Amino acid sequence: MTELAGTARSLLSELVAFDTTSRNSNLALIDFVEERLRNLGAQTFRVENEDRSKANLHAVIGPDAPGGVLLSGHTDVVPVDGQDWSSDPWAVTERDGKLYGRGTCDMKGFLACALAAAPEFAAAGLSRPVHFAFTYDEEIGCLGAPDLIDEIVARTNGVNAVIVGEPTEMKVVTAHKGLLSFEVSLRGAEAHSSLVDNGACAVTAAVPLMSLLVEIGEEMRAAAPSDSPFEPAFGTLTIGEMHGGTALNILAKEACFASLLRPAPWDDIDAIEQRLRDKAAEVEADMKARAPGARITIKRLSRVPPLAPEADGEAERLARALTGDNARRAVSFGAEAGQFQQAGYSTVLCGPGSIEQAHQPDEFIAISQLHEGAAFMERLIKRLATDSAS
């Protein structure tokens, strides 16, 4: 084990010990990370959420120069509630060449590798800076990253490449699907079910809206190109929740459903949302004709752009040079990489661990993957110390 890999192993234990489940604050972890980086001379700033219970952190080591590389990861993890763990999820346990604990794979393993490399970045006399971007609330819709990205754009002297360290087994991923989710609430008016013109049934009114979404899902399926890199090949749609009504013979006063779309890069997210809102306005007008107090409310829960492959992208070139991986690869989950790309940054996914271990009881990262992550950082240190372009 190299010294950097050993440091990453120790740091992983410290990071996992912070219970940063998305419902909790991440400030204790951010305090720990920020102090560590500031002690190395890093320039740091935070971007907090509205009630200041959580924060994003941006830190820079190296000269105030263009052409930097940004290493990004989220600090939050999914809950362990109801999962059957063989060991304490908040303490790293080693068994059979694997490190078990919540977040070891998704994605504190990458954070540990980046932080372990920070002292070497600081001592290397970099020709270009390395940026660290640690976010909150990725797991509930990539909610924290946009504000941080806006600040990075405003404050920095340019970033050539962004590496988002989601677990990809240290393979280079150049595309991911997006996220677009809604909660649709309908309020009608109760009446006897034999007197349909005396009220407005919220459940019945929900049907054309759900039907539209199903239709959009079929359109996304048909739109997939023959050479799609995704599995499944097309953007997907699910309606995961539906509630409403009180009895079979009463027009339902209320109904609610929630839908999640995972659009591919060629799907038009804005057009999809507008079609839903236009249909809702049409249905609401029909309900109001019988029940003036009727209404439909659409709450957008998440909107995360997909990551599209870039033609001759800086981040892809860099990641392939550091890993030796030249395969074409895409993933169907959503991530913050698309948000960085939308802001104008060349971006890829590349990090230690496998997504197959994420969100599971007994989540783990293979020690060999942590070593690969550390080796990636060592090669990046040498590159930033000698190159003037990524």
Catalytic residues: 76, 138
* Residue 34 contacts residue 60 (beta carbons within 8 Å): no
DSSP count for the chain of H helices, then E strands: 9, 15
Residues sharing a CB contact under 8 Å with residue 123, sequence separation 6 or more, in sequence order: none
From residue 146, alpha-carbon distances to 36, 153, 311 in Å are: 25, 11, 24
Strands 93-95 and 175-176: unpaired
| Distance between CA atoms of residues 160 and 384, nearest Å | 12
Backbone phi, psi, residue 218, to 5°: -65, -35
Distance of CA 10 to the CA centre of its chain: 25
Residue in the block written with tokens 């600040």: 151
- CA neighbor of 353 nearest in space, from 144, 128, 102: 102
- CA neighbor of 61 nearest in space, from 6, 112, 125: 125
Token pair listed for 317? 């070139």
CB atoms under 10 Å from CB of 96, counted, come to: 8
111: left (phi over 0), alpha (psi -120 to 50) or beta: alpha
- CA neighbor of 29 nearest in space, from 87, 107, 81: 107
| Distance between CA atoms of residues 256 and 183, nearest Å | 7
- CA neighbor of 306 nearest in space, from 229, 369, 197, 241: 229
